[in-house]
Amino acid sequence: MDIIDSYNPKICIQCGAEDYDVIASGPIVPVVSCSNCGLMRQGPDNCGKSAFSLQSCAGGSERYTQQRIEKESTQLADYIKILPKLNKLRPDKGKLLEIGCSTGLLLNELRKVGWNVSGVEPDEWAFNLAKTNFKLDVTNSYFQDAGYKAEFFDVIVMLHVIEHIPNPVEALNQINSLIRPGGILVMETPRYDTIWFKFLRGRERSVIPGHLYYFTRKSLTDMASAAGFKLLELNSVGRTLTLDRLCYSISKVSNSARVSRALTATSEKLHLNKAKIHINTHDMMRLYLLKL
């Protein structure tokens, strides 16, 4: 399943309406809002493509891969914060699946404290790192194709994945079927009912080609409720990032290849990938959901 090829931007997956209002026309990708239900998604014009290549402007694919590894290592400190809540909700622990486990950093930490972990990761590069570095039980596929049994998991964790899925309504129903009654789903994703999105629109840092849906707190909780989940807690969470990654985000907001090249050169000269900062602009949300 190719994410872009299987995504139909002309029809709202929540209500089936074809009419929409343009929220942002670019510069990277357009964002539209369903005229009927209000669900925001990537628009039909130049879907998944960008005239402004962030990877090339910020130093090419090699630098992008380096940044990804540094980004995941840095953000582990943020993601591991789900543990106290999970341990409170499921003190006996149990079977846990991470959808989109990437290189396995979080799964490895969860295994250390007693969770029986599995992961699914469609990216072959990340999957191989998870298998090689941590010997994890990881499947190289989309979760829909992994062959998991119904009601097999006590907890499913899905951090920064739902916005990439072509049909999140269908996906949440499929995820519900994998969780035992009384089990927990933890989701994290960018949110767009913020002053930042209202002001920046298409220049907001999380408006990128790979993000197909743009959720507000209400739109995501309503979608989860329709799939059979009850919201237990919703937190606006921050992000730990290197100053190099911050420069990357500024490049995105500026929409300027010249600014991007200047920031890249400065970052490399000052070794900003070694410096970390924690920022909470309330543009990320983490949801703890109970399967009814």
Which domains does the chain carry? 20-47+56-291 (3.40.50.150)
What span, in angstroms and rounded, lies between the C-alpha atoms of 251 and 229?
Answer: 38
The answer to whether residue 273 scores a pLDDT higher than 90 is no
Q: Check residue 61 and give its pLDDT.
A: 57
The answer to whether residue 239 scores a pLDDT higher than 70 is yes
The answer to whether residue 49 scores a pLDDT higher than 50 is no
Report residue 255's pLDDT band, with 50, 70 and 90 as the boundaries: low
For residue 221, report the phi and psi dihedrals to the nearest 5 degrees.
-70, -35
Helix 105-112 and helix 60-79, axial crossing angle in degrees, nearest 10: 30
| Cβ proximity of 244 and 250 under 8 Å | no
The answer to whether residue 278 scores a pLDDT higher than 90 is no
Q: Check residue 269 and give its pLDDT.
A: 78
The answer to whether residue 203 scores a pLDDT higher than 90 is no
Q: Encode the chain in three state secondary structure.
A: CCCCCCCCCCCCCCCCCCCEEEEECCCCCCEEEECCCCCEEECCCCCCCCCCCHHHHCCHHHHHHHHHHHHHHHHHHHHCCHHHHHHHHCCCCCEEEEECCCCCHHHHHHHHCCCEEEEECCCHHHHHHHHHHHCCCEECCCHHHCCCCCCCEEEEEEECCHHHCCCHHHHHHHHHHHEEEEEEEEEEEECCCCHHHHHHHHHCCCCCCCCCEECCHHHHHHHHHHCCEEEEEEEECCEEEEHHHHHHHHHHHHCCHHHHHHHHHHHHHHCHHHCEEEECCCCEEEEEEEEC
Q: What's this model's pTM, rounded to 2 decimal places?
A: 0.87
The answer to whether residue 206 scores a pLDDT higher than 80 is yes
| Cβ proximity of 126 and 102 under 8 Å | yes
The answer to whether residue 93 scores a pLDDT higher than 90 is yes
The answer to whether residue 272 scores a pLDDT higher than 80 is no
The answer to whether residue 70 scores a pLDDT higher than 90 is no
Residue that has been written with the tokens 């602009």 in this structure: 281
Q: Check residue 170 and give its pLDDT.
A: 96
Which tens digits make up the pLDDT trace of 121-176? 999 999 999 999 999 999 999 999 999 999 999 999 999 999 999 999 999 999 99
Residues whose CB is less than 8 angstroms from the CB of residue 271 and which lie 6 or more positions away in sequence, other chains included: none
Q: Check residue 238 and give its pLDDT.
A: 85
Dihedral, CA atoms, 61, 284, 73, 134, nearest 10 degrees?
-100
Q: Which residue has the higher pLDDT, 281 or 180?
A: 180
